Amino acid sequence: MLKPELVEKLNEQITSEANAAQIYLQMCLWCEDLGLAGAAAFFRSHVSEEMSHRDRLVDYMIECDAKVALEAIPAPRADYKDLIEVINVAYAHEQMVTKQIHDLARIALDDDDFSTFNMLQWFIAEQREELMLFRGIVDYIRLSGFDGTGGDEMVNMNKYLAGLSASHAS
């Protein structure tokens, strides 16, 4: 039986994962508008990934016979200055989600809820991967001299993100 605080926090996380899917879909559409098919594919691959995170949490709640309460998802931001800002916002979002997951793990441990802690190990590893992925993109931006505007660097950046979406798809 899950403690009420954990039920509340896991429900918040379910909405947070759905919110991330919505944010990434809007980022995908922003890229599509500019004809950046590779970058759009990268963000699109994250949409289904975030939905699978949501479902994984929902399934765990069902297994524990805990009540799932879905909440409203805010409208995602639709306008960005350039692709660098999109990447930076996505990276910051993953850092925030990582903190949420770590906070959940802390609560589970404090409650001696080893089952939930065990379930969260998958998310802890997943977030470590996500942070590594975005850190790699930020490094690429710095090393390639990409300044967010058009030209060869934009073409290369688009190709680079297309490659990441192919290798990252799960």
31 alpha carbon, distance to own chain's centre? 17
Say which amino acid occupies 151. Answer: G
Which tokens is 152 given?
């060869």
Determine the Cα–Cα distance for residues 133 and 52; give it in Å rounded to an integer: 18
131-to-1, 90, 111, 113, 125 alpha-carbon distances in Å = 32, 10, 28, 26, 10
Q: How far is the CB of 148 from Fe ion (least distance, A)?
A: 26
Which tokens is 103 given?
């906070």
Q: How far is the CB of 91 from Fe ion (least distance, A)?
A: 14
Count of residues engaged in binding Fe ion, rule: CB under 5 A: 3
Q: How far is the CB of 136 from Fe ion (least distance, A)?
A: 18
Of 147, 161, 149, 157, nearest to 46 by C-alpha is: 161
Q: How far is the CB of 50 from Fe ion (least distance, A)?
A: 5
Whichever of 78 and 125 has its CB closer to Fe ion, that residue is 125
Whichever of 78 and 96 has its CB closer to Fe ion, that residue is 96
x/- letters, 12..31, toward Fe ion (CB under 5 A): -----x--------------
x/- letters, 35..64, toward Fe ion (CB under 5 A): ---------------x--x-----------
Residues found near Fe ion in the complex (CB under 5 A): 17, 50, 53
